[in-house]
C-alpha cells in the first residue's frame, strides 16, 4: 500500500469528496485507512469508570484506500506516488511535482 500513517490525503469519491486530512491509522490487510475528520460516525458509549455518563460520541470510521489520493502541497492537488532508489534506500515521491515525500 502506497499510503502511510501521517500522509496528507484528499478524498476523491464519496460524501466527503474534496476533503483533505491526515492519515491517523492504516490497515494494510483490509486495505483501509482512517483520516482525521473524514467519515465521521456516531457511536453509543456505555457508562464506565472513564465516562460515567456514557452517551453518543462522534468518531472517524475506516475508508477504503482506493477512495483517496496523496495530496501534494507544492502542486496543491492530489497525485500518485512513485518510488526511487536513493543511496540504496527506497524513497517515495509525488508524481506531479517530483518532490520527495518527507
Spans of all domains in the chain = 8-94
- Is the pLDDT at 1 greater than 90? The verdict is no
Phi, psi of 67 (to 5 degrees): -90, 5
Look at the domain 8-94 and name its fold: SH3 type barrels. (2.30.30)
What is the pLDDT, as a whole number, of residue 30? 97
For residue 15, the SS3 value is: coil
Q: What is the pLDDT of residues 40-78, one digit of tens each?
A: 999 999 999 988 999 999 999 999 999 999 999 999 999
Its pTM stands at: 0.84
What is the predicted pLDDT for the residue at 102?
80
Are 67 and 44 a contacting pair, CB within 8 Å? no
Residue whose cell numbers read 469508570 = 49
Amino acid at each position: 500500500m502506497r499510503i502511510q500513517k501521517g500522509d496528507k490525503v484528499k478524498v476523491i469519491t464519496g460524501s466527503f469528496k474534496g476533503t483533505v486530512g491526515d492519515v491517523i491509522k492504516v490497515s494494510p490487510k483490509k486495505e483501509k485507512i482512517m483520516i482525521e475528520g473524514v467519515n465521521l460516525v456516531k457511536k453509543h458509549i456505555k457508562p464506565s469508570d472513564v465516562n460515567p455518563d456514557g452517551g453518543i460520541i462522534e468518531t472517524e470510521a475506516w475508508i477504503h484506500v482506493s477512495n483517496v489520493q496523496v495530496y501534494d502541497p507544492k502542486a496543491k492537488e492530489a497525485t500518485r506516488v512513485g518510488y526511487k532508489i536513493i543511496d540504496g534506500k527506497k524513497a517515495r515521491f509525488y508524481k506531479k511535482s517530483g518532490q520527495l515525500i518527507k
